[in-house]
Chain A
Amino acid sequence: MDAAPTPIRARPLVATIGPVGWARANLFSSWASTAVTLVLGYVILRAVTGLFDWAVLNAIWSVPYNDKGIPDTSVCQTNSAQGACWAVIADKYRLILFGRYPFAEQWRPFICVLLFIGLYIVSAMRRFWRKELALIWAATLTLIGILMWGGVFGLTAVPNDYWGGLPITLILATFGIALAFPLAILVALGRRSTGMPAVKMLCVGYVELIRGVPLISVLFMASVMFPLFMPPGINIDKLLRAQIAVILFAAAYLAEVVRGGLQALPRGQAEAADALGLNYWKKTFLIILPQALRLVIPPLVNTFIGFFKDTSLVLIIGLFDLLTMGKVALSDPPWQSFSTEVYITLGLIYIAFCFAMSKYSRGLERELGQAQRR
């Protein structure tokens, strides 16, 4: 056995395999590539070490408070060129996350945030993609409403002027999408209808009008025109007005997404349903929609990400969402000059939500794409 001659085989050149080979192929394949790698590498190295120094090594994590409870930020001020002042976050995180919600009751918005996240995770799992999902959504959203408002089951009532921070962002985006969805399906069906030209024109007009104007103009409309629309004496509060605006706005975009799904479905499905003698609503709800909506889940998630980010626009009409609370925290005199730290923290929260969702949507797209290609 030992005597068996080892086969004579030239070892591959060191420079073509392993890390060295990889680097030669991907970093130093030509003169230009080498130059780019060196310059970029230097810049990235400087940026990363600089950021690390600023955000971690030279950062200040807490500041002393005087006996009136006012923070003394002089250490941070002198250090501001070298390091971050994370003490602003330590001081203000409750305000940024939950707004002016009564301090002792802030466990309620906290549970709501967890419920929202749980709802997203459940909706992301394929085994829950059934009609019952609508029930889960309805139940969770009701529960969130009860928790936030209170007034029943021994919870103190908290009027929504006091809501703020992350729950507002999540509420506007999630309720917006959830309530816009049925409307969007109707509009998409109306736009696709062949026998009802008047309804079709109505739907086309609605979708194109809303998609042609910026969200901020619809929000302005909600904040200054809705009070004029209502009969005298009836006053809708600010949050509800903004919520209605987001719903109307989202419905137009979702309608286009749903229409994409309806168009992608082979005509044979509708024709087969017709041949079976199903009427329009049975055909739509039993045959067409269950298949069409499955097709549009990835673009639906992308639309949701868009609206999650766009809810930050309510800052302009004076609602206290996550971004507005960041600005409110910064209006406190001792912390005024530490906006970078606050914006970075807000950015990380937004990135955490959006990145998870977009990664999920891309994975789903690939999976569904593979299933179709087979």
Chain B
Amino acid sequence: MAETVTDPRLSGGRLAPKRDIRLSWSDPLLRSIVWQVVIIGVVVAIGWYLITNTHQNLASRRIATGFGFLDRVAGIPIGESLIPYDPAIHTYGRALWIGVLNTLRVAVVGVVLATVLGTVIGIGRLSRNWLVAKLTAFYVETIRDLPLLLQLLFWYTILQGLPGPKQAIRFGDVAFLSNRGFRYPTLNWEAAHEAAVAAGLIGLAVTWIWARHARRRQTLTGIRPPVWPAALAGAVIFPMVVWAVMGAPMAFEVPVLRGFNFQGGGTVSPEYFALLTGLVTYTAGYIAEIVRSGIQAVPQGQWEAAGALGLRRGQVLRQIVLPQALRVIIPPMTSQYLNLAKNSSLAVAIGYQDIVSLANTTLNQTGQAIEGIAVIMAVFLTISLSISLFMNWYNAHIALVER
């Protein structure tokens, strides 16, 4: 390590003699205390001034502070919601909770898709095929130079320009794309499906145990027992057998055109679709650069050594280079995930009802500006903190164990 010379002040025997504060400006301790008192004092004074003003203003506008409004009936119409909601009976609290869920719905799916797309593009930039390398470079360059909001508006306009439900673009008469969004058939959920999912989970657990066993055998004997038969039997065949034994139900609810819109099936709204597309394509541009520089940070010798062992290029990338690149990639990737989560707040511009949009409607209806902003900030701070904590844990998990 760099710290080979021990600081004499730190070793106990030679500790500087303790002394009292001198009442002189040349005493660093006194000076720092005075400075801190002054700075904190100024900040507190400004804060106090703003709070008193706010109190006066709120009193003159007859707005009661506090979160009591959360229990009042909201009356905000909400287009898409993961939990049941009726504007006539449900409260502001529930409406805001729907906003949180909607934000999470776009952020979680967005993070996964952006990671996949970004990794593919990042690897594409290093392709030996000139056309692929140039095309991905062009993509990264362009997408990062355009404001995200412009891209969102652009996608939203395109989706709105699609034909109406009657002239919808059909995918084999079961799925439809129109300016009302994407309609797709849903599976009628029955007990057999639940049992099959449970069986699949058991199968995965068995596969995982078998894989651990295989790894142990490999370190002991050098021979790795194959894992894929266990995976196939446990995670694919077993659930299918369970499903078949229970009668193999397979009924879909297909969306049908009734009147001016489709009924039944599942929907992806144009707002959600535009937001997700914009966020994913934009963030993927940044993730691609992170992945590229991460891969390039792995020394060339690793490629050559792996090649000398007879591995193919794809194998080298997957098994040798990417695991090492991951250590360089994770920290900047974390901040991209944070950016994606925060950027999802742009939903308000295209009318997707995320937490910002619903909190904004709430504060306009109730006049509870401070509480509304506080809710938005608290939600995003919680999301940011959770992502940071998870990624830090993951980073520590994959870090090189140094002896």
Contacts and interface: CB of A to CB of B under 8 A. Distances in A.
Contacts of B39: 198-199, 202
B66 interface: no
A224 B360 CA distance: 10
Interface string B136-180: 000001101111111001100110000000000000000000000
A354 interface: yes
Contact of A313 (B32, B57, B149): B149
Contacts of B348: 216, 316
A162 interface: no
Nearest to A225: B369
A214 B150 contact: no
Interface string A186-209: 000000000111110010000001
Contacts of B345: 214, 216-217
Contacts of B349: 315-316
A213 B145 contact: no
Majority-rule SS of B interface residues: helix
A36 B132 contact: yes
Interface stretch (A54-62, A151-159, A338-346): A338-346
Q: For chain B, give the interface size range.
A: 35 or more
Contacts of A232: 53, 56-57, 60
A212 B384 contact: yes
Given A214-B342, A217-B377, A33 B128 contact: yes
Contact of A36 (B131, B147, B356, B370): B131
B308 to A, nearest CB: 20
Given A228-B53, A351-B145, A220 B36 contact: no
B40 interface: yes
A52 interface: no
A198 B131 CA distance: 56
Interface string B357-379: 00010010000011011001100
A43 B157 CA distance: 24
Contact of B363 (A209, A224, A350): A224
23 contacts: A33-B129, A36-B132, A196-B32, A198-B36, A199-B35, A209-B381, A212-B377, A212-B381, A213-B342, A213-B380, A214-B356, A217-B345, A220-B372, A224-B373, A225-B370, A228-B57, A312-B147, A313-B346, A339-B153, A346-B150, A351-B146, A354-B145, A355-B145
Interface of B: 28-29, 32, 35-36, 39-40, 43, 50, 53-54, 56-58, 60, 128-132, 135, 141-142, 144-150, 153-154, 157-158, 338, 342-343, 345-346, 348-349, 356, 360, 363, 369-370, 372-373, 376-377, 380-381, 384-385
Closest 7 CB pairs of A and B: A354-B145, A26-B130, A214-B342, A309-B147, A214-B345, A312-B147, A212-B384
